[in-house]
Every structure is written in structure tokens, then in C-alpha cells.
Chains A and B, each alone.
Chain A
Amino acid sequence: ETVMTQSPATLSVSPGERATLSCRASQSVTSKLAWYQQKRGQAPRLLIYDVSTRATGIPARFSGSGSGTEFTLTISSLQSEDFAVYYCQQYNNWPPKTFGQGTKVEIK
């Protein structure tokens, strides 16, 4: 099983600042990596797929990068609606399609 490890567990950021979230895979997942955003009480929402492709309707302030085992989600200028939990997921080595444990982005 490919284990996905996200860091940090919690990220405290002020509105307007840049947030950088990391996701590490225990083995290469090539470019098959997605990011999801989940707000309290809501279902997850797809942000990024194939490492760096934004899903429909996702603002340009969200960007993804990386390859192999190291990946990053960057939010260039945090807006109030961006405070949420973010999950990475690999879909290269499956089953199972594993998720990271999540990074909570909170208001500083």
C-alpha cells in the first residue's frame, strides 16, 4: 500500500498570505496525485488533479507541483473561504487509492 503523508497537520496563516502544503508518498505515484478541499460539514471538493491541473471553477491562486513522491499545494493569497482541510490522494498504485491524513489551514 502506498502511504501518503501530509505536513504540517495544521497550518496557521493570515488572510492574504501564502500557504504551502506538502504531501509525500511512500513510493512513486508518478503524476497521479489529486488535492481535495473539505470545509466543515461539507463533502470534499476536487481542487487539483494530475499534480497540477486545476479542476473546473478552481481559482488560479491554487496551484500544485511535484512528481514521483514529493508534492506541494500552494495557495498564493489566502481568502477567508480557503480555510479548510486539504487532502492529497494518489491513484497510481491501487487498490487502495490512498489519501493523506489531511492538513488543516486555520486563521492565524
Chain B
Amino acid sequence: EVQLVESGGGLVKPGGSLRLSCAASGFTFSSYSMNWVRQAPGKGLEWVSSISSSSRYIYYADSMKGRFTISRDNAKNSLYLQMNSLRAEDTAVYYCAREVGSGSYIDYWGQGTLVTVSS
């Protein structure tokens, strides 16, 4: 069974940093591209970032470029999102999500971790 479990969310002040983690199990993690997708309270889904299976290809939404860094450790079956210079508008549930193939749709989602940016 595919499982994606996010952790690392919490309350952080504007300008602060946070590192999210996603522990993957039930599939060959190193064979899949992975994504982060976020959802602000009461709002829709917003794609954040993607990383290819080997970390060779990395993409970000424009509003996250230069502030967020996606990475992975295939030996640990883990995906990460380092978030710096956080703003109130970054407040959201952040989902870890597995992608089918490369540049394709998402087939599995984690349950999400809530990040709240507030003073």
C-alpha cells in the first residue's frame, strides 16, 4: 500500500523558516517524481514544486522560487521542502504527492501538514 506521511508543519513567524518532510513507503520511491502541493484554508489546490526521481529536474511555482527548496533522499525514501522567508500567504496545508511518470498527473497524496505563518 502506498503511504505518504508528511511532518514538520507548525506555527512560524513571518520571515522564518521551516522544513517539511515526507516519508514514503509501499512503492519504489527512487522510481517516481514527487511533488508538493498546498491548499490555503478554505481555498483550492496550488502546485508548489516537483522533483524528478534522480533529482536531476526540479521545478517551482513562480511565487516560491528563491524561497523554497525541494529535495529528496532516495536512500531514506524521503522528500523534503525547505521553506525560507515565509509569508502569511504561505499559510496552508502542504501535501506530498506522487507523480505517475514524469510531468504527469498525481496518483497518490499524503494527508498533509499544516503550516501557519503568523506573528
* Residue from A55, A91, A97, A102 having most chain B Cβ neighbours under 10 A: A97
Contacts of B60 in A (CB 8 A): 95
Which residue numbers of A lie inside 8 Å of B, CB to CB?
32, 34, 36, 38, 42-46, 49-50, 55, 87, 89, 91, 94-102
Contacts of A44 in B (CB 8 A): 45, 95, 106, 109
A96/B62 in contact, CB under 8 A: yes
Looking across the interface, which residue of chain A has its beta carbon closest to that of B107?
A46
Interface size range on B against A: 20 to 34
Q: Which of A36, A42, A99 contacts B47 (CB 8 A)?
A: A99
Task: Give the secondary structure class of A's interface.
Answer: loop
Looking across the interface, which residue of chain B has its beta carbon closest to that of A100?
B44
Looking across the interface, which residue of chain A has its beta carbon closest to that of B49?
A95
Q: Which of A46, A95, A96, A99 contacts B44 (CB 8 A)?
A: A99
Asked if B50 CB lies within 8 Å of chain A CBs, one says yes
Give 11 new A-B contacts, CB below 8 A, not counting A44-B95, A55-B107, A97-B35: A34-B106, A43-B111, A44-B45, A44-B106, A45-B109, A46-B108, A49-B100, A50-B105, A95-B47, A95-B59, A102-B45
Q: How many whole Å from B22's CB to the nearest CB in chain A?
A: 12
B44/A102 in contact, CB under 8 A: yes
Contacts of A99 in B (CB 8 A): 44-47
Residues facing A in B27-55 (CB within 8 A) are 35, 44-47, 50
* Residue from B46, B62, B105 having most chain A Cβ neighbours under 10 A: B105
Q: How many whole Å from A94's CB to the nearest CB in chain B?
A: 7
Contact flags (1/0) for B6-28 with A, using CB distance below 8 Å?
00000000000000000000000
A–B Cβ pairs within 8 angstroms, 12 of them: A32-B105, A46-B108, A49-B104, A49-B107, A87-B44, A89-B47, A89-B106, A94-B103, A96-B47, A96-B62, A99-B44, A102-B44
